[in-house]
Structure 1
Amino acid sequence: MHYSKLKISADATSKLRSLRQRTGLTPNLLCRVALMLSLEEGRIGDGVSPDEEGSEFNAYTLTGEYGGLFAALLRWVEEGPSPEEPMDNGTLLTRLRAHIHRGVGTLSVRAKSPSDVLRLVPAS
């Protein structure tokens, strides 16, 4: 999955502002947590994709050094372990935006404080 910039939805951007005030975490970190929450919920599929009217992130800012890992997890959830035909880059980016959108919605309900975000991370 190749991209240099990714725009998220206006709704997710608004919720990220609120989450940042409540948790003190930056939007890129919140997006990473949101993406993982959404991937845990399962496949997005071919539903309606969110708008691109919100914040724009550089690829490295959004995923850091873990871009390859996030891409592999996205492919695993969306395509399954042995896809007949791999998804094209555009479809994967649309699904990435959709997962961030869904995850931010979930996170905005579940995280009212920094400690709530910590509770989402499994103890090792």
Structure 2
Amino acid sequence: MQHSVILPVTPESKPLWSNDPSAAVLDTLNAGAVQIELMLQGYHSREKVRTVSFDDSTLQLLATNEYRLKANYVIEEYSVCSAIDQVDSESMPLTVSLLSEGTAMEVKGIDLPEREPDSL
């Protein structure tokens, strides 16, 4: 299963697409960080995703209007039974594509294959 989210291109980043597309990608991702946290939550059903940031040194151009970079984030888990908070750092490569209209960007996480049911 692969989770994704569509982020609107911010008015501030629209002029950047022609001059500095890397800055435009980062600007749009930072503006949509809350939506990306919710998307990443789909990969961590038992934990809470917090504080997503984007590693601009990993930004790569894959094809025209398609990029890849690493997202760093914190996952928090609280066990009620043992009253223990657990906080871990995680990262995930994201694929970012500017949609053909140029008004939105699709952000995709990793593709995790779904497990087949066990046979008896």
The two structures share one fold, judged by TM-score above 0.5: no
Does 1 or 2 have the higher relative contact order (CA < 8 Å, sep 6+)? 1
- TM superposition score normalised by structure 2: 0.31
Structure with more of its chain in strand, by fraction: 2
Structure with more of its chain in helix, by fraction: 1
